[in-house]
């Protein structure tokens, strides 16, 4: 489920080398608790929820309800380990999403707590969902 395109292999190599260098010099080890920029957060969460909805069999769309935790690790790209609460909305999954989708409030109310790992190369607009597990919550 890779979105985005590698515009040029050379650019990719440059990017990877740069990331490796940065990673080396900043001495990142494992995941760190770190606030994400709003912009990165938006696109990362949007990518996640779109993947989730794509794979879902639910009649309704889910949306991110609350960001619970985000950790980041710099490797050849940026890996985000994120915990979110997602909830069922009133928008049907197979309808064009035109209006804002409000969360279900009555019988159909449903939420999951999801842990997922997303690999991104932000400066190339590349996202890949590596891990995802959701528990009813
Ligand atoms: C993030 O997304 C929300 C809703 O989709 C939007 O209102 C907001 O402007 C976005 N912020 C950034 C920094 O992209
Ligand atoms: C979701 O599905 C649409 C239509 O098949 C596709 O264009 C899009 O890339 C998918 N999104 C993700 C994040 O997999
Ligand atoms: C959707 O349904 C298929 C077939 O019943 C099942 O294998 C799959 O796990 C379901 N996906 C989700 C996200 O529940
Ligand atoms: C990712 O998957 C591995 C192996 O399936 C598992 O051990 C790990 O806990 C998962 N991580 C997350 C964040 O779900």
Q: How does 65-82 read in b/e, with b if 16+ C-beta sit within 10 Å? A: beeeebbbbbeebbbbbb
> 98: which 2 tokens?
């035109």
Q: Which atom of ligand 3 is nearest to the CA of 52?
A: 13
> What is the per-residue pLDDT for 40?
81
The residue behind tokens 């979105």 is 3
> What is the per-residue pLDDT for 75?
86
Q: Which atom of ligand 4 is nearest to the CA of 81?
A: 13
Angle (CA) 34 37 43, round 5° = 115
Mean pLDDT, 10 residues at a time, the chain of 137 residues: 47 49 46 76 93 95 94 89 96 81 95 95 90 93
Backbone angles phi, psi at 71, to 5 degrees: -130, 155
> What is the per-residue pLDDT for 109?
97
Question: Beta strands 111-121 and 78-92: pairing type?
Answer: antiparallel
Q: How far is the CA of 131 from the centre of ligand 4 (A)?
A: 6
Q: Which domains does the chain have, with CATH numbers?
A: 32-136 (3.10.450.10)
């Amino acid at each position: 489920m890779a979105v985005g395109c590698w515009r040029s292999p050379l650019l990719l190599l440059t990017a990877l080398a740069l990331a490796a260098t940065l990673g080396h010099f900043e001495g990142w080890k494992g995941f760190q608790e770190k606030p994400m920029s709003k912009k990165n957060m938006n696109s990362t969460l949007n990518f996640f929820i779109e993947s989730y909805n794509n794979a879902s069999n639910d009649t309704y769309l889910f949306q991110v309800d609350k960001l619970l935790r985000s950790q980041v690790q710099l490797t050849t790209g940026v890996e985000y380990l994120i915990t979110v609460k997602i909830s069922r909305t009133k928008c049907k999954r197979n309808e064009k999403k035109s209006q804002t989708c409000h969360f279900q409030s009555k019988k159909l109310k449903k939420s999951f707590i999801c842990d997922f790992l997303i690999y991104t190369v932000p400066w190339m607009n590349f996202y890949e969902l590596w891990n995802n597990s959701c528990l009813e919550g």
